[in-house]
Amino acid sequence: MIYTCTLNPSIDYIMHVDGFQAGGLTRSHKTFYYPGGKGINVSRVMERLGVSTIALGFIGNFTGQFIINSLEQEGIKHNFIETGDYTRINVKLKGEQESEINGPGPNVSEVQLTQLLDQVRSLHGEDYLILAGSVPSSMPKDFYNQIADICLQKNIPLVADTSGDALRQLLGKQVFFLKPNEHELGELFDTTISSVEEAAYYARKLVEQGAKHVIVSMGGKGAVYVDSEHKFYANVPKGEVKNSVGAGDSVVSGFIAALSQGKSVEEAFRDGVATGSATAFQDDLCQKEDVDRLKEEINISPII
């Protein structure tokens, strides 16, 4: 079974605005509420791609209930731990530019932390764990590290989509798949990545340090896949970007869904990029028909 784990879920409150006025009143002309958080996005996209998951993580109060209701309406199984605190609401402002305000997350008790670690301990080598997003500010900073160690002991393939300190903790660990974007990868190596070759060079460093598969997403500039044998580049399809929230999570979903269906890494890379773009071209997350259509526009070429 594929498990996603979102330590810090959110309701994503998308507000479309014309000319945002800091310090004044801005009225939004279009709003959307979506269940969010990176692992939850992965569960929602994988369900649309025909692959079932179980969503784990911390949830609470009426904002958490919104997420549970939304997932149940979409037929997604879950086994969340109730914190008794509010699941955050993240505000995504869409004007001439996209701006995001993400909350710090709930208070999580020691007992609840132990419950989640026990859930991870109960998984097996034939499962996957997709751990994605930030760690609530009340939690120990090394929580990614703790989960990675359990996965190592139990041979559970760990997929991680995070940034900053949480991503740094995974360096040197056997991780099944990492998907940093070019900025997150650059931050990790204290550099700026400005070309496909540089992305491939630093992605290979992640592989040398224990990651089995790495995709570096570079927004509209394409994406890079690296493992110990291959280095590939994928272009992205052309289209109007409506919403980049969840596009990176969709790359993870498409890639893992394809591998779980027995496809090659090259095909899985194409599926991942198509899934990311299909989400970027939608208000909410992608639909499978769009992924299938966009796949035709993606060429995978070796990076020399």
Ligand X SMILES: Nc1ncnc2c1ncn2[C@@H]1O[C@H](COP(=O)(O)OP(=O)(O)OP(=O)(O)O)[C@@H](O)[C@H]1O
Helices (H), 12-142: 38-48, 61-73, 110-121
Q: Which is nearer to ligand F1X, 39 or 237 (CB)?
A: 39
CA distances from 90 to 102, 121, 174, 248 (A): 5, 30, 32, 17
Binding of residue 90 to ligand F1X (CB under 6 A): yes
Residues 6+ apart with CB under 8 A from 218: 181, 182, 196, 199, 224
**Residue of 224, 236, 268, 286 that binds ligand X (CB under 6 A):** 236
Binding of residue 41 to ligand F1X (CB under 6 A): yes
Binding of residue 87 to ligand F1X (CB under 6 A): no
List the interface residues with ligand F1X, window 112-141 (CB under 6 A): 133-134
Residues 6+ apart with CB under 8 A from 216: 179, 180, 181, 182, 185, 193, 199, 200, 202, 203, 223, 224, 226
Is there a contact between 192 and 186 (Cβ–Cβ < 8 Å)?
yes
Q: Tokens 């630093």 appear where?
A: 202
List the interface residues with ligand X, window 204-223 (CB under 6 A): 217-220, 223
Binding of residue 252 to ligand X (CB under 6 A): no
| Binding-site partner at residue 90 among ligand X, ligand F1X, none, CB < 5 to 8 Å by type | ligand F1X
* Rounded-to-integer distance, Cα 130 and Cα 39, Å: 7
Helix (H) or strand (E) holding 148: helix 143-154
| Binding-site partner at residue 12 among ligand F1X, ligand X, none, CB < 5 to 8 Å by type | ligand F1X
**Residue of 12, 249, 271, 290 that binds ligand X (CB under 6 A):** 249
**249 is an active site residue:** yes
The one-character DSSP state at 183 is H
Catalytic residue among 85, 161, 249, 271: 249
The one-character DSSP state at 79 is -
Q: Which is nearer to ligand X, 15 or 218 (CB)?
A: 218
Binding of residue 184 to ligand F1X (CB under 6 A): no
Output the smallest distance, CB 199 to ligand X, in A. Answer: 11
| Binding-site partner at residue 108 among ligand F1X, ligand X, none, CB < 5 to 8 Å by type | none
Give the amino acid at 92.
Answer: K
**Residue of 4, 15, 37, 286 that binds ligand F1X (CB under 6 A):** 37
**Residue of 280, 285, 286, 291 that binds ligand X (CB under 6 A):** 280
Q: Where are the beta strands (DSSP E) in 44-185?
A: 53-59, 77-78, 81-82, 88-94, 98-101, 128-132, 158-161, 175-178
Give the amino acid at 211.
Answer: A
Chain contacts with ligand F1X (rule: CB under 6 A): 8, 10, 12, 36-38, 41, 90, 102, 133-134, 245-246, 248-249
Chain contacts with ligand X (rule: CB under 6 A): 181, 217-220, 223, 236-237, 239, 241, 244-249, 251, 273, 276-277, 280
By annotation, the residues acting in catalysis are 249
